[in-house]
Amino acid sequence: MSVQPPADYEPPVPAEEFGVLTTDGLRLHVEVHGRPGAPTVVLAHGWTCSTAFWAPVIRRLTDRYRVVAYDQRGHGRSEIPPSRARYSTRALADDLATVLARTVPAGERALLAGHSMGGMTVMAAGGRPEVAERTAAAVLVSTGPGELLAELNVLPGSLRPAGLRRFLHRQLLRSRMPLGPVTPVSRAALKYATMGPGSPADQAEATARIVHACPTSVRAGWAGVLARLDVHAGLARLAAPTAVVVGTADRLTPPVHAHRIVSELQDPQGLLLLPGVGHMAPLERPAEVAAEIHRMAVEHLLGACDSVDTVAVVGAVAADGAVADPEVERTAVA
């Protein structure tokens, strides 16, 4: 019997969609969901994903926010870079700046939420004036600023020596093996690497369909960037209030990265630990991820927006019974 993704993982129909040209001439696909004139939330997805990755989170945000989601270069419906030189953290930051300039009017600010490579995008853009002036706050989900190969937990820790383990992780990360159609075997393998062990089959199916849709050349091109990632400098310059989210069972960017990010942030706003959750937190626990975006918006975005009824939005957030989970552990940061 075939496995179908959950109904709310079906990508919602955007209110508006268009293309924007990057500084080096590539076309990025951009979608706008939710309430016109409401506070803006901008979502940046991770490696091998697309705007479809955010579907269950978008559905939990659109009654209160104007939600912008875009496909990173090479992903989804965005144009594929013609050469390896067009893959870089600088390009990620440039693209984010371009999207913000097109979707966040001058004088207004948005909340930025980035997952995995999307979080690296936000960190890479840290300190850029054109990004900072349009950023009220940020939420970094399942991500890291560097040392990715050294901290990967896909292969067992018992594999020694450490140099061999790092080499094999690099080969795995940069594999050009075509993924092909989703099969029970490929779904199980992807679940092991990217999701918590308790994730149900329908969530794993949704994840596999998104990841398998990424072109092999794009997956390999960005893998090369991730293997040598270092956005610590941008992270140190990220001045916006920033919250961090990570699953305790994340094999790709384990919690050590989240703690490292918090220690380097100028204005840390807490670390949210999701027990038993893997790397794909927005798909595994969309209610909790959306709740953290709500929390940061209430505290740092809504008061700055004259065009929205702040009291009504805050009341709606408080009334949403889906945003609280007693198993979630939040670490406050002084």
Q: Is residue 184 part of a domain?
A: yes
Q: Is residue 1 part of a domain?
A: no
- The span from the CA of 50 to the CA of 71, in Å, is 5
Report whether pLDDT(320) > 60: no
Report whether pLDDT(309) > 60: no
Q: What is the CATH number of the domain that holds 59?
A: 3.40.50.1820
Q: Is residue 122 part of a domain?
A: yes
Lowest-confidence region among 166-180, 217-231, 269-283:
166-180
- The span from the CA of 153 to the CA of 167, in Å, is 13
Sheet holding 110-115, edge to edge: 16-21, 27-34, 66-70, 40-44, 110-115, 135-141, 242-247, 268-274, 329-331
DSSP structural state of residue 146: B
> Closest Cα to residue 49, out of 206, 255, 203, 189?
206
Q: Is residue 2 part of a domain?
A: no
Report whether pLDDT(276) > 60: yes
pLDDT in tens, 78-89: 999 998 889 999
pTM, rounded to two decimals: 0.88
Question: What percent of the chain clears pLDDT 70, i.e. is strictly above it?
Answer: 82
Average pLDDT in the 118-125 region? 98
- The span from the CA of 70 to the CA of 140, in Å, is 16
pLDDT at position 186 is: 83
Q: Is residue 21 part of a domain?
A: yes
Provide the domain limits for residue 149: 7-331
pLDDT at position 150 is: 84
Average pLDDT in the 320-328 region? 45
- Mapping DSSP to helix (H, G, I), strand (E, B) and coil, where does residue 163 land? helix
Q: Is residue 209 part of a domain?
A: yes
Average pLDDT in the 215-231 region? 93
pLDDT at position 306 is: 45
Q: Is residue 165 part of a domain?
A: yes
At 61, list the tokens. 């945000």
Domains of the chain: total: 1
pLDDT in tens, 140-187: 999 999 998 888 776 566 555 565 445 554 555 555 555 678 788 888
Average pLDDT in the 61-70 region? 97
**DSSP H/E element including 233:** helix 232-237
